[in-house]
A and B are shown apart, each in its own frame.
Chain A
Amino acid sequence: MQALRSKARELLATKTVQVIIGYASGGGGRARAVFVREAAKADALVFDDSCQQNLAVYFSKPEVRKLGKAALVATPAALRAILQLAAENQIAEGELLALAVGGDDVVPLATFAAIEAHVAARDGDWSAAEKEELQKYEAMGLEERRRFWEEQFSRCLKCYACRAACPLCYCTRCTVECNQPQWIPVPAHDLGNLEWNVMRAMHLAGRCVDCGDCGRACPVNIPLHLLNRRLIREVFTVFGSRSGRSAKGDNALSTFKPNDPEDFIQ
């Protein structure tokens, strides 16, 4: 934490960046995002296990962009988000400095290549608990799964916190907001909720960087990240690609191979 604070002070003092986007202590033992613009205030920065939010989401917020060049306190998921945003031409090289955190150390990563290398060196499989969580649902029968999700989605408020919290949901006008004709129903009734959640998952397929913020943001605790997880695995096992690993190249669903599997096609 001290390393982080002194690095932040240095970056601000030398005017290398204008703002450090990091974590500060928040309410109820939670951490919250903080935007430090003066070296003197760098002591507000913290980093511990409560710091889970993917701060890369703030790159798409105009008010934050206006603050100038930013250094971002980046969890592994945030680093992946940066790479994915770069691959989708949302961040240009040199527009930001990533401060990779983990343990007591802080590693400044100025280029996409450096971020790619950093991510690659620490890339791993899901934890046993994460795998188990997914398997728990897959082990259910089809009907049981259907009922599970019907109940979950019946609680959805359509507050779009999942969308707001997602660093990859950066569209200025979402499909749900296209209303001539109204494509996804606005009302938060059962059908509207199902269609919204299917659409959200589909539009993130091959792009989701697996930070889990959608599930964490949900005020009614729908495990939304599971949908994304399931598709991450599908994309990886079938197409062999994982998003958020490279600042270049196409997403799994905006490209193809002529010999992609098609055993399900008659």
Chain B
Amino acid sequence: MARIGVFICHCGENISATVDVVKVAAEAARIPGVAHSVEYKYMCSDPGQQLVKNAIKEKNLTGVVVAACSPRMHEPTFRRACAEAGLNPFLCEMANIREHCSWVHEKGEATTQKALDIVRTLVAKVKKNKALEPIKVPVTKTALVLGGGIAGIQAALDIANSGHKVILVEQAPSIGGHMSQLSETFPTLDCSQCILTPRMVEVAQHPNITLHSYSELESLDGFIGNFKARIRRKARGLDEKLCTGCGLCMQKCPTRKIPSEFDAGLGLRPAIYVPFPQAVPNKPVIDREHCTYYRTGKCRLCEKVCPTQAIRFGQEDEIVEAEVGAVVVATGFDIKHGDFFPEYGYGKHQDVIDGLQFERLASASGPTLGEIRRPSDGKVPETVVFIACAGSRDPAKGIEYCSKICCMYTAKHAMLYRHKVHHGKPYVFYMDIRAGGKMYEEFVRRAMEEDGVQYVRGRVSRVYERNGRLVVKGVDTLLGARPLEIEADLVVLATAGVANAGAEELAQKLHVSYDAHKFYAEAHPKLRPVETNTAGIFLAGACQAPKDIPESVAQSTARRRRFILPASAASSARAPAPTRPSRRRSSAAATGRWSRPWPRSTRACARAAAPAWPSAAPNRSTSRASPTRRSMPRFWPCWNEVNAMADFNPKIVAFVCNWCTYAGADLTGTSRMKYAPQVSIVRFPCTGRIDFMLLLKAFAGGADGIIVSGCHPNDCHYSSGNFHARRRWVVFRGLMDFLGIDVRRVQFSWVSAAEGAKWAQLVNETTDRIRRLGPFADYQRLRGQGVG
């Protein structure tokens, strides 16, 4: 006989303000199998956890339901507490009555009833839960670091110095990233390359680090401790072992007028090149798009001059396979380019440049050797206008966030300009100064007070060229909001920091989630800021959000600790999260096809309709019976009573995937958006696991409408579960319609973790639609019909 303990949390007033927690606790005590039911102000606090622990021991509990916040928040907390009290942690479940109830519904009886329903559901689930043991997974003690910028370099060195192997993959010909392009760094104004290049060399020489520059991740399969990476080493056009890096080829290359990526387009480079003199590795690549030989079939000058005969024109991309235990994603960021600011003439006037271009102008290794000269005519600019927040914090441009680094680097730019052009007049247009950080505010003050940088609080409406000068039209909001026109020689835009162009594609290869701006999402913004939702994949640096150097470095070092913990053990422990019912397990799962040829595998046809579990599922663990399926029947009886109420309040069941829609619904709660309380959320690992039969079960159990929602295409945590689900839905809808079931009763949707508003809208719209369709009595009547 089950002895379940139910612990209802007030969450201060977060829950108790809208849910009658005392009543929920009292009602929960009457649920069959519940041996103990209490409420408490802060269940996650020490005394709260102690309540749980004491009850487990005193009441001899066989299961625990904590009705509080989302399991994505505190499930680990309470499971740990249960384990400490001697209860198997997997016999503890969270009833999400905060994000999915108290925060999204108005105060009232319906909300309290819903909280009670959620508790009931989880009690039913816990009763069926089995004690599970963590799964031991042998660990490959090698880390894969993607991205060779400062964050990747730091992560690689930290892990390598701890005695583990590292594979560092950088897509550019050299590591170094954006930091290698910088002139000086704030707030100390020390030389960026001086602090970076020694670390680059250290990477190249470290015995534990294998560097693949000019390479990209092709695919990643497997799971924590046991990833298999395929890395594409793009053809450099030369034999790296033979090349000494003498540079003769670069000197002789006849195609020399190619805009240099390293100099942000301000300098030129030949077709065979290293991005910059201190490049690591110091081996050139042939730019096949511009190389005369590849374009015309003639030239091969580099081949002739190469003293070691290292040039290989016919070289092809090479795929390297590697087994790794963990992955650090440090792919960095980009800044907004192109015709994003037509009003500022960016991309039209040569003398309207972005921050990175200014870095190259100010850099001693840059195209002007550190002299500030404007691109159009090489003159030293007398007046320079810096425009902060070019794109950032601008919803009209689609970028609501603050790019964080611009206030500081703009102050630095203005300062550097004054240091180099003493009579120059720098202006900075800004919205606010955000200089939170050690010595940051002081740094900005110095720019204003010591270096005479004119700070103008206001936005620039337009930059246009007149008589060879740039007219900056803006407004000074502090001096009576007067329109202001400044004639400048150079305009520097602190354009918004954005995710890399390939960020989305890479996220899909890695099965990590990302936000609306394609920045990678952390497992928890506060408590697990360096991990992704996919175990064994960590984040570092600005691929997560714009970050400055100290922050990137600090985070990279943190990552090392996260990595070393599992890596130092012979095996890592994985939560035995049930993802597939045991009977579906067969050799078929590994191949996506069923075993051949005789005897027949079990339930092969069921797998055809609920297809083979994706083999690449990173979180796949050994099988356990599906808990959601088991908890279904006990869920329904309470509904029928509610259904009998005079006003028709449709009962809606939402089957959602854990990774996207459940998190999206959490966000709805966190954002305090309201929606109809008639919906009950059932969490699944993936839409690919939502058997069509569950939908019928829900109808039979009293549901009037159903929502099925998961990750958008390409975003599936298991790579293709939603694609498979989508096909089944098409077929299922066809069948439902043919059987005379109104397909409008089932709403399919994609709601990502970032779409809290969409979730609320989806629930409200579906509720309205089902209300119009009325109760699904035709179906509910079938229950019990046909028994003699």
Q: Which of B189-197, B641-649, B677-685, B729-737 contacts A (4 or more CB under 8 A)?
A: B729-737
Residues of B within 8 A of A92 (CB): 596-597
In Å, the complex CA distance between A174 and B601 comes to 10
In Å, the complex CA distance between A253 and B601 comes to 18
Extra contacts, 13 of them, besides A143-B740, A168-B605, A191-B786 (Cβ < 8 A), are A140-B740, A171-B604, A181-B630, A184-B693, A187-B786, A188-B786, A227-B738, A238-B730, A254-B593, A255-B611, A256-B723, A265-B748, A266-B765
Asked if B731 and A198 sit within 8 Å, CB to CB, the answer is no
A130 to chain B, nearest CB (A): 15
Asked if B782 and A191 sit within 8 Å, CB to CB, the answer is yes
Residue of A190, A195, A203, A252 touching B727 (CB-CB under 8 A): A252
A64 to chain B, nearest CB (A): 12
Asked if B785 and A206 sit within 8 Å, CB to CB, the answer is no
In Å, the complex CA distance between A235 and B599 comes to 29
Residue of A181, A187, A250 touching B629 (CB-CB under 8 A): A181
Residue of B594, B605, B739 touching A203 (CB-CB under 8 A): B605
Interface residue A14 (Cβ < 8 Å from any Cβ of B): no
25 interchain pairs, CB-CB under 8 A: A89-B594, A89-B597, A140-B740, A144-B740, A148-B740, A154-B785, A172-B600, A173-B603, A175-B603, A178-B583, A181-B630, A187-B786, A193-B786, A198-B735, A204-B605, A206-B731, A230-B735, A234-B734, A238-B730, A260-B727, A265-B726, A265-B749, A265-B750, A266-B750, A266-B765
B488 to chain A, nearest CB (A): 48
Residues of B within 8 A of A180 (CB): 625
Asked if B740 and A205 sit within 8 Å, CB to CB, the answer is no
Q: Give the nearest-CB partner of A235 in chain B.
A: B731
Residues of A within 8 A of B477 (CB): none
Asked if B735 and A201 sit within 8 Å, CB to CB, the answer is yes
In Å, the complex CA distance between A247 and B729 comes to 26
Residue of B597, B605, B741, B786 touching A171 (CB-CB under 8 A): B605
Residues of B within 8 A of A226 (CB): 738
Asked if B787 and A138 sit within 8 Å, CB to CB, the answer is no
Q: Mark B690-708, 1 if CB is under 8 A from A, else 0.
A: 0011001000100000000
Q: Which of B629, B633, B700, B730 has the most CB of A within 10 A?
A: B730
A238 to chain B, nearest CB (A): 5
Asked if B596 and A89 sit within 8 Å, CB to CB, the answer is yes
Residues A183 and B693 in contact in the complex (CB < 8 Å), given A142-B737, A266-B762 = yes
Residues A187 and B787 in contact in the complex (CB < 8 Å), given A231-B735, A261-B730 = yes
Interface residue A194 (Cβ < 8 Å from any Cβ of B): yes
In Å, the complex CA distance between A98 and B465 comes to 82
Asked if A171 and B600 sit within 8 Å, CB to CB, the answer is yes
Interface residue B784 (Cβ < 8 Å from any Cβ of A): yes
Residues A254 and B611 in contact in the complex (CB < 8 Å), given A89-B593, A171-B602, A231-B731 = yes
In Å, the complex CA distance between A3 and B129 comes to 64
Q: Give the nearest-CB partner of B765 in chain A.
A: A266
Interface residue B282 (Cβ < 8 Å from any Cβ of A): no
Asked if A175 and B593 sit within 8 Å, CB to CB, the answer is no
Q: Which of A91-125 contact B (CB under 8 A)?
A: 91-92, 95
Residues of B within 8 A of A252 (CB): 727
Residues of A within 8 A of B729 (CB): 264-265
Q: Which of B611, B625, B727, B782 has the most CB of A within 10 A?
A: B727
Residues of B within 8 A of A181 (CB): 629-630, 633
In Å, the complex CA distance between A173 and B601 comes to 8
B347 to chain A, nearest CB (A): 33
In Å, the complex CA distance between A230 and B598 comes to 31
Q: Which of A145-165 contact B (CB under 8 A)?
A: 145-150, 154
Residues A260 and B730 in contact in the complex (CB < 8 Å), given A168-B605, A189-B786, A266-B762 = yes
Q: Give the nearest-CB partner of B785 in chain A.
A: A190
Q: Which of B626-684 contact A (CB under 8 A)?
A: 629-630, 633
Question: Which residue numbers of B lie inside 8 Å of A, CB to CB?
Answer: 583, 592-609, 611-612, 625, 629-630, 633, 692-693, 696, 700, 713-714, 720, 723-724, 726-735, 737-743, 747-750, 762, 765, 778, 782-787
B171 to chain A, nearest CB (A): 24
Residues A90 and B713 in contact in the complex (CB < 8 Å), given A202-B609, A234-B734 = no
Q: Which of B596, B605, B735 has the most CB of A within 10 A?
A: B605
Q: Mark A222-266, 1 if CB is under 8 A from B, else 0.
A: 000011001100110011000000000011111111101110111
Q: Give the nearest-CB partner of A195 in chain B.
A: B696
Residues of A within 8 A of B693 (CB): 183-184, 195, 198-199
Residues of A within 8 A of B696 (CB): 194-195, 198
B253 to chain A, nearest CB (A): 41
Asked if B734 and A260 sit within 8 Å, CB to CB, the answer is no
In Å, the complex CA distance between A219 and B178 comes to 75
Residues of B within 8 A of A258 (CB): 713-714, 723
Q: Mark A128-147, 1 if CB is under 8 A from B, else 0.
A: 00000000011010111111
B691 to chain A, nearest CB (A): 8
A163 to chain B, nearest CB (A): 10
Asked if A207 and B605 sit within 8 Å, CB to CB, the answer is yes
A227 to chain B, nearest CB (A): 7
A47 to chain B, nearest CB (A): 28
Interface residue A58 (Cβ < 8 Å from any Cβ of B): no
Residues of B within 8 A of A204 (CB): 605
Q: Mark A23-48, 1 if CB is under 8 A from B, else 0.
A: 00000000000000000000000000
B551 to chain A, nearest CB (A): 36
Asked if A90 and B597 sit within 8 Å, CB to CB, the answer is yes
In Å, the complex CA distance between A60 and B601 comes to 11
Q: Give the nearest-CB partner of A199 in chain B.
A: B693
Residue of B594, B598, B748, B784 touching A88 (CB-CB under 8 A): B594
Residues A234 and B731 in contact in the complex (CB < 8 Å), given A137-B738, A142-B737, A154-B786 = yes
Asked if B724 and A256 sit within 8 Å, CB to CB, the answer is yes
- Smallest CB-CB A-B distances: 5 pairs: A146-B740, A89-B596, A145-B740, A189-B786, A256-B723
Residues A260 and B583 in contact in the complex (CB < 8 Å), given A142-B740, A227-B735 = no
Interface residue A169 (Cβ < 8 Å from any Cβ of B): yes
Residues A253 and B608 in contact in the complex (CB < 8 Å), given A90-B600, A234-B730 = yes
Residue of A168, A189, A234 touching B784 (CB-CB under 8 A): A189
Residue of A88, A142, A144 touching B604 (CB-CB under 8 A): A88
Q: Give the nearest-CB partner of A178 in chain B.
A: B583
A65 to chain B, nearest CB (A): 7
Residues of A within 8 A of B734 (CB): 230-231, 234
Q: Give the nearest-CB partner of A202 in chain B.
A: B609
Q: Give the nearest-CB partner of A146 in chain B.
A: B740
In Å, the complex CA distance between A156 and B318 comes to 61
In Å, the complex CA distance between A177 and B436 comes to 65
Asked if A146 and B778 sit within 8 Å, CB to CB, the answer is yes
Residues A203 and B609 in contact in the complex (CB < 8 Å), given A147-B740, A254-B592 = yes
Asked if A256 and B726 sit within 8 Å, CB to CB, the answer is yes
In Å, the complex CA distance between A264 and B750 comes to 11
A74 to chain B, nearest CB (A): 19
Residues of A within 8 A of B609 (CB): 202-203, 205, 253
Q: Give the nearest-CB partner of B593 in chain A.
A: A89
Residues of B within 8 A of A143 (CB): 740
